[in-house]
Amino acid sequence: MKKSIQHQPVMVNEVLFYLIGNDPGVYVDATVGLGGHTKEILSSLTSESRVLGIDLDRAALETAKHNLREYGERVTLVEGNFVDTPKILSRFGIARVDGVLLDLGLSSFQLASDRGFSYRSSSRLDMRFGKGARYSAYDVVNRFGEKMLSDIFYRFGEERFSRQIAKKIVARRKRSSIETSDELAKIVASSIPGRGAVKSLSRVFQALRIFVNDELGNLATALSVLPDLLNPNGRICVISYHSLEDRIVKRRFKELVSSGGFLALTEKPVSPGISEVQENRHSRSAKLRCILRKV
Ligand SMILES: C[S@@+](CC[C@H](N)C(=O)[O-])C[C@H]1O[C@@H](n2cnc3c(N)ncnc32)[C@H](O)[C@@H]1O
Q: How far is the CA of 241 from the centre of ligand 1 (A)?
A: 12
The answer to whether residues 102 and 245 belong to one domain is yes
Task: Tell me which H or E stretch contains 88.
Answer: helix 85-91
Residue range 69-91: mean pLDDT, rounded: 98
Residue 3 pLDDT greater than 60, yes or no:
no
Say what the pLDDT of residue 148 is. Answer: 98
Q: How confident is the model at residue 287 (pLDDT cuts 50, 70, 90)?
A: very high
Residue 163 pLDDT greater than 60, yes or no:
yes
Residue range 227-251: mean pLDDT, rounded: 97
Burial of 87 (0-12, 13-18, 19+ CB in 10 A): exposed
Residue 196 pLDDT greater than 90, yes or no:
no
CB 108 within 8 A of CB 33: no
Let me know if residue 2 belongs to a domain: no
Closest C-alpha to ligand 1, atom 18? 81
Say what the pLDDT of residue 195 is. Answer: 73
| Burial state string for 148-168 with b = 16 or more CB within 10 A and e = fewer than 16 | ebbbbbbebbebebbbbbbeb
Residue 249 pLDDT greater than 80, yes or no:
yes
The answer to whether residues 228 and 245 belong to one domain is yes
The answer to whether residues 234 and 261 belong to one domain is yes
Q: How far is the CA of 104 from the centre of ligand 1 (A)?
A: 6
Ligand 1 pocket test target in 31, 65, 89, 284 with most atoms within 8 Å of CB: 31
The strand pair at 262-264 and 287-293 is best described as antiparallel
Say what the pLDDT of residue 193 is. Answer: 86
Residue range 247-258: mean pLDDT, rounded: 98
* Tens of pLDDT, residues 15-47: 999 999 999 999 999 999 999 999 999 999 999
Residue 4 pLDDT greater than 70, yes or no:
no
The answer to whether residues 104 and 22 belong to one domain is yes
| Average confidence score pLDDT of the chain | 95
The answer to whether residues 197 and 160 belong to one domain is yes
Task: From 192, 212, 232, give the residue that closes a domain.
Answer: 212
Strand partners, 99: 27, 235
Q: How far is the CA of 101 from the centre of ligand 1 (A)?
A: 10
Ligand 1 pocket test target in 129, 134, 210, 224 with most atoms within 8 Å of CB: 129
Residue range 201-215: mean pLDDT, rounded: 97
Say what the pLDDT of residue 158 is. Answer: 93
Say what the pLDDT of residue 1 is. Answer: 43
| Index of the ligand 1 atom closest to the CA of residue 36 | 8
The answer to whether residues 105 and 16 belong to one domain is yes
Q: 167: domain CATH number? A: 1.10.150.170
Work out the angle between the directed axes of helices 36-44 and 12-19 (0-180°, nearest 10). 50
Count how many domains the chain has: 2
The answer to whether residues 92 and 233 belong to one domain is yes
Cα of 226 vs its chain's centroid, Å:
16
* Tens of pLDDT, residues 99-139: 999 999 999 999 999 999 999 999 999 999 998 899 999 99
The answer to whether residues 138 and 57 belong to one domain is no
The answer to whether residues 239 and 192 belong to one domain is no
The answer to whether residues 265 and 190 belong to one domain is no
CB 117 within 8 A of CB 209: yes
Residue range 133-158: mean pLDDT, rounded: 97
Q: How far is the CA of 55 from the centre of ligand 1 (A)?
A: 6
Boundaries of domain holding 202: 134-212
Say what the pLDDT of residue 69 is. Answer: 97
Residue range 200-218: mean pLDDT, rounded: 97
